[in-house]
Amino acid sequence: MIPKKIKTIPYTATRNACKMCTPLGAALVFHGIEGTIPLLHGSQGCSTYMRRYLISHFREPVDIASSNFSEDTAIFGGGDNLRLAIENVTRQYFPAMIGIATTCLSETIGDDVPMILNGMDNAVDDTILVHVSTPSYTGTHVDGFHGAVHAVVERCNPLTGKTKDDLKTRKKINIFPGMLSNEDIRHIKEIFTDLNTEFTILPDYSERLEGPSWEDYQAIQKGGTPVREIKTMNLATASMELGSILAGTVNQGGESAGSLLKERFDIPLVSLGFPIGVKATDLFFSHLEQLTATAMPEKYKCQRGRLIDAYVDGNKYVSKRRAVVYGEEDFVVAMAGFLAEVGIIPVLCASGGKSGLLEKALEETLAPNILKQVTVHQGMDFTRMEQAARDLNPDFVIGNSKGYTMSRHLNVPLVRVGFPIHDRIGGQRILHIGYKGAQELFDTIVNTLLQRRQDTSKTGYAYM
């Protein structure tokens, strides 16, 4: 089944992008590792802009260092600057790890970062230096995100660390959640804890980017996956990786953190989409049950029961409603699956990402009768999205804050989910995954639609 194509005139410039650049994803990952400071190898502006962008969503300090290119650096190479930056970051922050991500600039002038880093390990005591290549002109923030997770796992789990005996001591599960919210990460941790299973989740920025008010200054906020735990990821019984596009990439021969551990250490890898909605969460739990040989705790069965009951209560408010869903590709696929499961037609599924896998992932997620009503578009910006959406008569749009302009022009409500949320408080606390997440999403969507009906009705019923 081939989804419908959009008939808009192609154009050259990107107009109101529905994506961010690669190093931003990497910087986010490094904030999810204990004691780690991200350092962008490039000009000052990139770091500052990304800091501001992340701060506006998380409302927490986000420190990203820069090697601060000047004209000389751009001509003669950034080696000295990078070394100096590493030394200064070490002196100021005493980090356990420095996550070095390149930018368009350092990539284009061809700085050989691994070579520059070679021999630096001694200069900075025990600080681990991790390098990830993140030129922005080859991908989006999502690629930077997965790239950084992969780089950290690779750096902390060298092949030489593998011994036969280790196999016996394997017990924990690695979980790579992908780019989810703080609340999502906390929920995954809760689930694993409830299953009595040891696990390492990477990254985990849920504490560092949403910590309590301080008693005293914290140069690097508390929280994050401890480096020592990342170092023992090669001792796990299995790895679980979330994100259907990521899974698709691995299937096509791409490398992810999970596939690296599988290759190097024979750790089985389970890949599945984000567990958003009942069906996706069922799948998530069934995998967990297999991996841990533990049945789904009663608590989650109750959540599931209540959720389905709520679906029933609200079915008529949402059935046949039309939604535009946009954001990161993994997110779009999972969200479309959820919408379809409650009877909402995701008439337009759009992303600024361009993995080439979006259509296929949606084909695998949506039933054919739904799919034929769906328009899919990768590499899309908000201007084109708005044009396309106009013809599709959506009842609402669902995605990050950046879609606000579109929703305003279309005069339909925006349900805010994903990243970034820049025009509301609490974006970092939105729960998307699990039965509980679906419950929150469902309530929000139904109430948004009800409010719309109420606000636009002449009568203004107080009883709906």
Partner 1 sequence: MEPISVLEDRKNQIYRKGQDSFDISCEKKSLAGAVSQRACVFCGSRVVLYPIADALHLIHGPIGCASYTWDIRGALSSGPELHRMSFSTDLSETDIVFGGEKKLEQALVELIAEYEPKAAFVYCTCIVGIIGDDVEAVCKKVAAKTHIPVLPVHSEGFKGTKKDGYKAACDALFKLIDQNRKPEKQIPLSINILGEFNIGGETWIIKEYYRRMGIEVVAVMTGDGRVEEVQSAHRACLNVVQCSGSLTYLAKDMEKAYGIPFIRVSYFGIEDTSDALYDVAAFFEDTPEIMERTKTLVQEEVKTILPELSALRKDLTGKRAAIYVGGAFKAFSLIKALKHLGMAEVLVGSQTGNKDDYALLREMCDPGTVILDDANPLELAKYVMEKDAHLFIGGVKERPIAYKLGIGFCDHNHERKIPLVGFEGMVNFAREVHETVTSPIWDLVPRKSFNRAISKKG
Q: What residues between 405 and 424 interact with partner 1 by CB under 8 A?
A: 405
Closest contact distance (angstroms) between CB of 103 and ligand SF4 is 4
Q: How far is CA 364 from CA 65, 254, 334, in A?
A: 41, 20, 11
21 versus 33: smaller Cβ distance to ligand SF4: 21
What are the start-end ranges of the H helices in 118-206?
A: 141-156, 166-169, 182-194
- Of 4, 8, 14, 282, the one binding partner 1 (CB under 8 A) is 14
Residue 213 binds what, of ligand SF4, partner 1, none (CB under 5 to 8 Å, by partner type)?
partner 1
386 versus 395: smaller Cβ distance to partner 1: 386
Q: Based on the number of CB atoms within 10 Å of its own CB, is 102 exposed (0-12), middle (13-18) or buried (19 or more)? A: buried
Mode of pairing for the β-strands spanning 65-66 and 128-132: unpaired
Residue 372 interacting with partner 1 (CB under 8 A) = no
Please give the Cα distance from 397 to 322 (Å, whole number): 9
Residue 74 binds what, of ligand SF4, partner 1, none (CB under 5 to 8 Å, by partner type)?
partner 1
Which residues pair with residue 276 across a beta bridge?
434
Per CB under 6 A, which region of 101-109, 187-195, 317-325, 328-336 contacts ligand SF4? 101-109
Closest contact distance (angstroms) between CB of 45 and ligand SF4 is 3
User: C-alpha dihedral over 296, 300, 306, 309, to 10 degrees?
Assistant: -30
Residue 390 interacting with partner 1 (CB under 8 A) = no
Please give the Cα distance from 187 to 189 (Å, whole number): 5
- 83, 113 Cβ separation under 8 angstroms: no
Q: Which of 450, 29, 395, 368 is nearest to 460 (CA)?
A: 450
Residue 135 interacting with partner 1 (CB under 8 A) = yes
137 versus 463: smaller Cβ distance to ligand SF4: 137
Closest contact distance (angstroms) between CB of 177 and partner 1 is 24
16 versus 373: smaller Cβ distance to ligand SF4: 16
**CA 264 from centre of chain:** 25
Residue 86 binds what, of ligand SF4, partner 1, none (CB under 5 to 8 Å, by partner type)?
partner 1
Closest contact distance (angstroms) between CB of 274 and partner 1 is 23
105 versus 116: smaller Cβ distance to ligand SF4: 105
14 versus 447: smaller Cβ distance to partner 1: 14
Q: Where in 27-56 is the site for partner 1 (CB under 8 A)?
A: 39, 42-53, 55-56
Counting other chains too, the contacts that 111-118 makes at CB distance below 8 Å and 24 or more residues apart are 111/41, 111/77, 111/78, 111/79, 111/82, 113/41, 113/82, 116/78, 116/79, 116/82, 116/83, 117/82
Closest contact distance (angstroms) between CB of 281 and partner 1 is 32
Max distance between CA atoms of the chain, in angstroms, equals: 74
Residue 104 interacting with ligand SF4 (CB under 6 A) = yes
Q: Which of 246, 305, 235 is nearest to 270 (CA)?
A: 246
String of contacts with ligand SF4 for each residue 14-53, x by CB under 6 A: -------x-x------------------xx-xx--x----
**DSSP secondary structure string for all residues of 70-117:** -HHHHHH-SHHHHHHHHHHHHHHH--SEEEEEE-HHHHHTT--HHHHH
Q: Where in 232-291 is the site for partner 1 (CB under 8 A)?
A: none
49 versus 404: smaller Cβ distance to ligand SF4: 49
Per CB under 6 A, which region of 98-106, 150-158, 184-192, 282-290 contacts ligand SF4? 98-106
- 105, 74 Cβ separation under 8 angstroms: yes
- Of 1, 167, 219, 367, the one binding partner 1 (CB under 8 A) is 219
Closest contact distance (angstroms) between CB of 132 and ligand SF4 is 12
